[in-house]
């Protein structure tokens, strides 16, 4: 019976650490746990802010009830929003789709307890402060402590005899270890803690983030008018982007390939007239016609590529962006971390964003170097294009940024341009790409 129980535990352990090909990838587990501890430590920092905010909130509430603390409500609630906003940014970096509920009529913080009680988003922020300031902070401390505890206890037999008597302990003081046999036990506990950290570190981070994912998004029972307005605006942006794209294709065909084909027709007519009178002249005209046809074909291929680049289908997003980076007139580095394929519309938009951004870099920025980073985290594809140019880029300047914004909004994504005078310029785009 004991053997059967041991077999079941071993099967569970193997299931936790097995990857493709039935091989244990300790490096992936280690990187995932290090990432979990890093983000968990950031969450613990926000937890400290939330923990110290709890007595401030209680004191402000009591003073407001007494009638002397009402002027404090708005700045304290703004402080709560600031902490919650930092947590939303952390969650979005981890791939959680947490939207900011403070838009439109609730952009200003509540100014009285009655307004706080009437604002569902404010109430949810206060709930998150209470939970994250206690349990979330504890989980962050645990994630930060586990790797250090494992290293300390594993190496304990090497230095325990040199430590003062008060420090001769393992498991953070839970077990006294003042003898050689107890020191060896410390090595065993350190290895056990390290294994637990590898296996459950990402799960602890997920548990810590779950509070924010539940409380910090828009209230699911709130009025849907804002979402309807957003969807209406997104649909209008999609139609505008479609119309702009059609006009661009029409201009490309009319001003390019069509004019060349008209010129071919004229040249062929001239060649027919010269066949009997001057065959050498006719051959020269036909050669010009052939050159014009080749130019028309090249322009047609360029128009087709701009609609949906075939390189996306052939080589995927990473290969297509690599081709763009290598063709850029400015030295460009590329980093792509995208597992699998995204929807075709998302890949095409990301390709357009990078292509248009690098074109702007080459034409307007006077930059010496550019970089492109494309990362998928959860259901969000993030595209960041940076250059060290002169800055000052904005959509009204006709640099293609308005087209990027329309394309991104058509997919319900977000775009942000940071370009102070003197540089650097950063174009950050986030696109939803559901699995």
Alpha-carbon separation of residue 380 from 95, 342, 413, 431 (angstroms): 6, 10, 9, 6
pLDDT at 171: 65
Q: Are 379 and 434 in contact (CB under 8 A)?
A: yes
Q: Are 178 and 168 in contact (CB under 8 A)?
A: yes
What digits encode the pLDDT tens for the residues 60-107? Answer: 999 988 888 888 888 999 999 999 989 999 998 888 878 777 754 456
Q: What is the pLDDT of residue 137?
A: 93
Query: Mean pLDDT over all residues of the chain?
Result: 78
pLDDT of residue 16: 44
289 touches 304 (CB < 8 A): no
Identify the bridge partners of residue 335 per DSSP, sorted by sequence position. 373
Residue-level pLDDT at 136: 92
Question: Across residues 189-211, what is the average pLDDT?
Answer: 88
Q: What pLDDT, on the 0 to 100 scale, is given for residue 367?
A: 83
**Across residues 233-244, what is the average pLDDT?**
63
Q: What is the mean pLDDT of residues 143-150?
A: 86
pLDDT of residue 43: 92
Domain spans of the chain, in order of start:
2-215, 225-307, 310-432
**Would you state the pLDDT for residue 240?**
65
Tell me the percentage of the chain whose pLDDT exceeds 90.
Answer: 15
pLDDT of residue 237: 61
pLDDT of residue 402: 76
Asked whether residue 223 carries a pLDDT value surpassing 70, the answer given is: no
pLDDT band at 47 (very low <50, low <70, confident <90, very high): very high
**Is the whole-model pTM more than 0.75?**
no
Which CATH topology does 310-432 take? Heat Shock Protein 90 (3.30.565)
Does residue 423 contact residue 391 with C-beta atoms inside 8 Å?
Answer: yes
∠ CA 113-114-115, nearest 5°, is 90
pLDDT band for 160, please (50, 70, 90 cuts): low
Res 4 pLDDT > 60: no
Residue 319 has pLDDT above 50, yes or no: yes
Instruction: Grade residue 411 by pLDDT with cuts at 50, 70 and 90.
Output: confident
- The better pLDDT of the pair 207, 343 is held by 207
Reply yes or no on whether the pLDDT at 149 is more than 80: yes
Q: Span 30-57, mean pLDDT?
A: 91
Please tell me the least confidently modeled range out of 1-5, 23-27, 255-259, 400-404.
1-5
Instruction: Determine if residue 6 is left, alpha or beta; phi over 0 gives left, psi from -120 to 50 gives alpha, anything else beta.
Output: alpha
Contact between 289 and 281 (Cβ < 8 Å):
no
Centre a 10 Å sphere on the Cβ of residue 129 and count the other Cβ atoms it contains. Answer: 25
Cα–Cα distance between 90 and 131 in angstroms, integer?
A: 17
Measuring CA to CA, which residue among 407, 397, 399 is closest to residue 429? 407
pLDDT bucket at 190, cuts 50 / 70 / 90: confident
The DSSP annotation for 162-185 comes to GS-GGG-EETTTTEE--SHHHHHH
Query: Is a pLDDT exceeding 80 seen at residue 13?
Result: no
User: Can you tell me the mean pLDDT for 342-352?
Assistant: 84
């Amino acid at each position: 019976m004991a053997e059967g129980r041991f077999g079941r535990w071993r099967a569970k352990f193997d299931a936790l650490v097995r990857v493709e090909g039935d091989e244990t990838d300790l490096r992936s587990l280690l990187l995932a746990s290090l990432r979990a501890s890093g983000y968990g430590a950031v969450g613990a920092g926000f937890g400290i802010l939330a923990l110290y905010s709890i007595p401030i909130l209680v004191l402000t509430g009591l003073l407001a009830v007494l009638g002397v603390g009402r002027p404090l409500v708005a700045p304290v609630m703004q402080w709560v929003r600031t902490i919650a906003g930092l947590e939303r940014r952390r969650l979005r970096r981890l791939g959680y789709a947490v939207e900011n509920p403070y838009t439109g009529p609730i952009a200003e913080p509540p100014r009285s307890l009655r307004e706080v009680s009437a604002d569902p988003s404010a109430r949810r922020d206060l709930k998150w402060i209470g939970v994250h300031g206690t349990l979330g902070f504890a989980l962050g401390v645990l994630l930060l402590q586990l790797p250090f505890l494992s290293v300390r206890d594993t190496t304990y037999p090497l230095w325990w005899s040199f430590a003062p008597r008060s420090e001769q302990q393992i498991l953070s003081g839970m077990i006294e270890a003042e003898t050689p046999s107890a020191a060896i036990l410390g090595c065993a506990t350190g290895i056990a803690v390290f294994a637990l950290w590898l296996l459950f570190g990402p799960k602890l981070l997920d548990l810590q983030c779950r509070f924010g994912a539940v409380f910090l998004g828009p209230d699911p029972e709130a009025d849907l008018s804002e979402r309807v307005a957003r969807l209406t605006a997104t649909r209008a942006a999609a139609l505008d982007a479609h119309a702009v794209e059609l006009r661009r294709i029409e201009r490309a065909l009319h001003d390019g390939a069509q004019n060349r084909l008209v010129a071919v027709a004229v040249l062929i007519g001239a060649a027919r007239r010269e066949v009997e009178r001057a065959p050498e002249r006719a051959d020269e005209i036909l050669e010009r016609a052939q050159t014009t046809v080749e130019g028309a074909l090249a322009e047609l291929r360029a128009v087709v590529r701009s609609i949906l680049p075939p390189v996306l289908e052939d080589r995927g997003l990473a290969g297509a962006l690599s081709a763009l980076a290598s063709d850029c007139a400015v030295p460009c580095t590329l980093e792509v971390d995208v597992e699998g394929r995204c929807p075709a519309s998302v890949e095409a938009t990301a390709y357009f964003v990078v292509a248009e951004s690098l074109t702007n870099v080459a034409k307007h920025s006077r930059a010496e170097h550019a970089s492109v980073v494309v990362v998928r985290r959860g259901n969000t594809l993030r595209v960041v294009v940076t250059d060290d140019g002169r800055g000052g880029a904005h959509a009204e300047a006709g640099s293609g940024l308005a087209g990027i914004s329309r394309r991104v909004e058509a997919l319900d994504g977000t775009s942000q341009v940071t370009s102070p005078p003197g540089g650097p310029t950063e174009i950050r785009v986030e696109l939803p790409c559901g699995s």
